[in-house]
C-alpha cells in the first residue's frame, strides 16, 4: 500500500468519481492503520477493479470531517461518489470481505 495522500482529493472530486473505490482515512504512524494494512490488502486482492485511495486525516482535514471520521483507520466504500458502506479498524479478513460483499464490490 502507498503512503497516505496529503492533502488528498477534494470532496467534489470524490463525489464525482465514477465506479467503485475505497477511501481510507488514517496516518502512517497509527498502529491501528499499520495493523489493518495486511488484512485489507489481502481482501482487496480479490477485487482488482476497486482502487484504494489512502488519505491522511487529522484535525482540520475537510474530507475526513465530511465523512465524519472519528477513528483510524476508517474505510469508506463508495460507488459513483455515494457511500455504500464503511469499516472502522478492521482486524480480520472476514470483516473486510463481508463489507466488500455488502457494498456489492465482490460476489458472496
Q: Looking at residues 57-63, what average pLDDT do you find?
A: 93
Which strand (E) or helix (H) includes residue 82? strand 82-88
Local confidence band at 107 (pLDDT 50, 70, 90 cut-offs)? confident
What global pTM score does this model have? 0.94
- Name the H helices within 1-53: 11-16, 31-44
pLDDT in tens, 4-53: 999 899 999 999 999 999 999 999 999 999 999 999 999 999 998 999 99
C-alpha to C-alpha distance for 74 and 61, rounded to whole angstroms: 14
pLDDT in tens, 31-45: 999 999 999 999 999
Q: Name the 3-class secondary structure at 9.
A: coil
| Domains in the chain: boundaries | 11-102
The conformation of residue 61, written as its DSSP 8-state character, comes to -
Average model confidence (pLDDT) across the chain: 95
Percent of the chain's residues with pLDDT above 70: 97
C-alpha to C-alpha distance for 5 and 98, rounded to whole angstroms: 26
What's the CATH number of domain 11-102, 3.40.50.460, 3.40.30.10, 3.90.230.10, 3.40.228.10? 3.40.30.10
Amino acid at each position: 500500500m502507498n503512503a497516505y495522500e496529503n492533502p488528498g482529493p477534494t470532496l467534489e472530486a470524490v463525489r464525482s468519481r465514477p465506479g467503485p473505490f475505497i477511501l481510507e482515512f488514517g496516518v502512517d504512524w497509527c498502529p491501528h492503520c499499520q495493523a489493518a494494512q495486511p488484512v485489507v490488502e489481502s481482501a482487496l486482492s480479490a477485487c482488482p477493479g476497486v482502487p484504494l485511495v489512502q488519505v491522511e486525516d487529522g484535525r482540520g482535514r475537510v474530507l475526513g470531517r465530511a465523512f465524519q471520521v472519528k477513528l483510524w483507520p476508517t474505510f469508506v466504500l463508495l460507488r459513483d461518489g455515494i457511500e455504500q458502506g464503511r469499516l472502522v479498524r478492521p482486524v480480520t479478513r472476514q470483516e473486510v470481505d463481508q463489507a466488500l460483499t455488502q457494498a456489492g464490490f465482490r460476489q458472496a
